[in-house]
């Protein structure tokens, strides 16, 4: 028996392995094709265009001129700084609010099934529609927020939150957090429910407080999910277009113009394709650098907590 | 269980905090409903007030006249999202299976490549994407919204589905092999039926992605009004002079209702599925 198995196995495995390769690539081929045509080729083309002065009229090779102009423009660096500030602030808030929300939804209270459903709408509806609701609430003449602030006597006059630079920026942040929180909450909740009950019981028997269990069991156990949600969320927030576009179109006076809004304005609204492409390339390089750094960090966190 | 028990005061605290959290999440919807029920003249002139004597459903009748294509927009949104979901799933299922089960050269590298696609939202690649779609004569057709939608959802789909497929016991497939079934037959008749719960979760997640993010591709690649999806179509309520906010809100709420109803039925699977996905061991 053993003899037969030993002599037959290598040959069968080899045949299987060869066909495995071909079969695997066959299965992946349709997905690869989509990505090649819709993502990879346009990406290469964007890189090429960034070295031209392409407009609707035609294009000439201009070398690194677009980049030189971009990097020499103090406004551009202001936009880069604003984009990172936007990303860090919005993502931190999403993670904190999501963690609080998930903890609440994870509590053993009657009605939790209903609460879990009620948290989902902002995630399920088109982003643009949620933004229309917020745009209304922010307006100064009849908006809810302005109305409430007056009612409670916090302000004398109507406040048009999207009309001044600082308030417009933070209003956009709040809406972005609102759009992103439900998904973060649900993933955290799912991760919390995956934590082994034995750990909690052991700690409980030892007399550990609820806060201690949260800090020393829940957080470390769901850390891998927190860290990967943070990365995904950071990338989406960095590239968040619809929210800002619908609320302010990047205004007032550029206060909410992030890299992606600037790119859209230059490339699509003004149809200066070459300059727009250079901005798009900068976004890709910044995000790639950020992600690689982050993945390295993720790797260390995972190793530290012994998760896979 | 004893360990989860909360004292009366703790319960009140949890309920109060949950209420605040949900208030933040649901406030825009409450406000949209309130606005949709009030006549335009009162919205603009009267002082802010929570309750009003003049609640009516007038806006829900008038909106169909103000924007005659509204019904089309609602349909288009659902149609585009459904088409994106079906095509994405057809592409994702075999790929996810390959990553879950087979060993092949460049496996990790290509999976990493797929995930890196997440870094490029459509907005970064709009210019050449416009040209690609023009070359394929897809501009101003449903395809202009469907094809890019599919491409950007493939990576997430593969990533999510892979972890579900990994949990299906290998023995079942091997049994089918031993019985002489072909690989494709095994995939179709053994793996896919077993993966139905995972497929529902991934399908729902893809649908949500496709439904939520139609705006950018629609406003950039399509200017045929008849095939515009709801988020883009709604902007017809926004006039140069005045926006009929109450009708806009009524239309938005009406537009999302069909999907919300379907979602209510699917949410149980989604929460359960996400949980199952998180429990990796």
Of chain B residues 142-181, which have a CB less than 8 A from chain A?
Answer: 147-148, 150-152, 154-155, 158
Report the percentage of chain B scoring pLDDT > 70: 89
The answer to whether B251 touches B237, Cβ cutoff 8 Å, is yes
- Domain ranges across chain A: 73-305
Query: String of b and e for B133-165 (b: at least 16 CB within 10 Å)?
Result: beeeebbebbbbbbbbbbbbbbbbbbbbbbbbb
More confident residue, A261 or A153: A261
The answer to whether A152 touches A176, Cβ cutoff 8 Å, is no
Using pLDDT thresholds of 50, 70 and 90, give the confidence band for residue A308.
very low
Fold of A73-305: MetI-like fold (1.10.3720)
Average model confidence (pLDDT) across chain B: 83
The answer to whether A27 touches B98, Cβ cutoff 8 Å, is yes
Mean pLDDT of A250-258: 86
How far is B109 from A173, CA to CA, in rounded Å?
35
Does the structure show a pLDDT above 80 at A242? yes
Q: Is B267 on the interface with A (CB under 8 A)?
A: yes
Using pLDDT thresholds of 50, 70 and 90, give the confidence band for residue B180.
confident
Q: Which of A16, A20, A27, A115 to mutate to test the interface with B (most CBs of B within 10 A)?
A: A27
pLDDT at A91 (0 to 100) = 96
How far is B222 from A33, CA to CA, in rounded Å?
23
Nearest CA in chain A to B177: A16
Does the structure show a pLDDT above 60 at B279? no
Q: Do B124 and A105 touch (CB under 8 A)?
A: no
Using pLDDT thresholds of 50, 70 and 90, give the confidence band for residue B241.
low
The pair of structure tokens assigned to A215 is: 């800090």
Does the structure show a pLDDT above 70 at A10? no
Does the structure show a pLDDT above 70 at B274? no
Q: B91-128 pLDDT, tens per residue? A: 999 999 998 888 888 888 888 888 888 777 777 788 88
Q: Is A293 on the interface with B (CB under 8 A)?
A: no
Instruction: Pick the most confident of A78-92, A144-158, B48-62.
Output: A78-92
Q: Which CATH class is domain B67-278?
A: mainly alpha
Does the structure show a pLDDT above 50 at A5? no
pLDDT at B281 (0 to 100) = 33
Using pLDDT thresholds of 50, 70 and 90, give the confidence band for residue A2.
very low
pLDDT at B49 (0 to 100) = 63
The model carries a pTM of 0.86
Quote ipTM for the complex.
0.85
Q: Closest approach of chain A CAs to the CA of B83, in angstroms?
A: 15
């Amino acid at each position: 028996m053993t003899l037969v198995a030993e002599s037959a196995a290598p040959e069968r495995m080899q045949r299987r392995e060869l066909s495995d390769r071909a079969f695997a690539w066959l299965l992946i081929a349709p997905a690869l094709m989509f990505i090649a045509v819709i993502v990879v080729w346009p990406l290469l083309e964007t890189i090429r265009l960034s070295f031209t002065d392409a407009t609707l009229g035609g294009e000439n090779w201009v070398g690194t001129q677009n980049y030189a102009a971009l990097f020499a423009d103090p406004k551009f660096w202001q936009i880069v700084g604003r984009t990172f500030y936007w990303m860090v602030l919005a993502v931190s808030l999403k993670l904190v609010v999501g963690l609080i929300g998930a903890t609440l939804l994870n509590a053993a209270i009657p009605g939790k099934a209903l609460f879990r459903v009620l948290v989902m709408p902002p995630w399920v509806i088109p982003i643009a529609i949620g933004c229309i609701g917020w745009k209304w609430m922010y307006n100064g003449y009849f908006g809810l927020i302005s109305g409430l602030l007056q009612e409670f006597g916090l302000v004398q006059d109507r406040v048009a939150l999207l009309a001044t630079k600082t308030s417009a920026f933070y209003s956009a942040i709040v809406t972005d957090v609102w759009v992103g929180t439900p998904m973060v909450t649900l993933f955290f909740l799912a991760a919390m429910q995956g934590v082994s009950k034995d750990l909690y019981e052991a700690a409980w028997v030892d007399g550990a407080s609820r806060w201690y269990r949260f800090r020393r069991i829940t957080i470390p156990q769901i850390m891998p999910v927190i860290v990967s949600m943070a990365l995904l969320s950071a990338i989406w927030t960095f590239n968040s277009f619809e929210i800002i576009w619908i609320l302010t179109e990047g205004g007032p006076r550029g206060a909410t113009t992030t890299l992606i809004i600037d790119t859209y304005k230059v490339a699509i609204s003004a149809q200066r394709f070459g300059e727009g492409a250079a901005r798009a390339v900068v976004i890709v390089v910044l995000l790639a650098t950020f992600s690689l750094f982050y993945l390295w960090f993720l790797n260390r966190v995972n190793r530290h907590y012994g998760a896979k | 269980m004893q360990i989860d028990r909360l004292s009366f005061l703790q319960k009140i605290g949890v309920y109060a905090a949950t209420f605040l959290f949900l208030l933040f999440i649901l406030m825009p919807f409450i406000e949209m409903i309130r606005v949709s029920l009030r006549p335009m003249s009162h919205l603009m002139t009267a002082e802010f007030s929570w309750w009003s004597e003049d609640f009516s459903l007038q806006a829900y009748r008038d909106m169909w006249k103000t924007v005659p294509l509204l019904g089309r927009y609602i349909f288009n949104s659902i149609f585009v999202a459904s088409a994106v979901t079906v095509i994405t799933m057809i592409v994702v299922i075999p790929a996810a299976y390959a990553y879950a089960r087979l060993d092949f050269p460049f496996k990790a590298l290509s999976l990493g490549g797929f995930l890196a696609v997440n870094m490029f939202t459509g907005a970064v690649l709009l210019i050449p994407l416009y040209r690609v779609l023009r070359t394929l004569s897809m501009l101003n057709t449903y395809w202009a919204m469907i094809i890019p939608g599919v491409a950007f959802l493939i990576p997430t789909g593969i990533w999510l589905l892979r972890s579900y497929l990994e949990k299906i016991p290998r023995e079942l497939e091997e049994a089918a092999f031993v019985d002489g079934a072909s690989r494709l037959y095994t995939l179709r008749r053994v793996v896919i039926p077993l993966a139905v719960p995972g497929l529902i979760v991934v399908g729902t997640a893809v649908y949500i992605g496709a439904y939520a993010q139609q705006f950018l591709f629609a406003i950039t690649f399509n200017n045929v009004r008849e095939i515009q999806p709801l988020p883009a179509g709604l902007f017809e309520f926004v006039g140069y002079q005045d926006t009929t906010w109450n009708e806009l809100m009524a239309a938005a709420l009406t537009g999302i209702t069909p999907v919300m109803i379907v979602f209510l039925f699917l949410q149980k699977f989604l929460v359960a599925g996400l949980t199952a996905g998180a429990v990796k061991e």
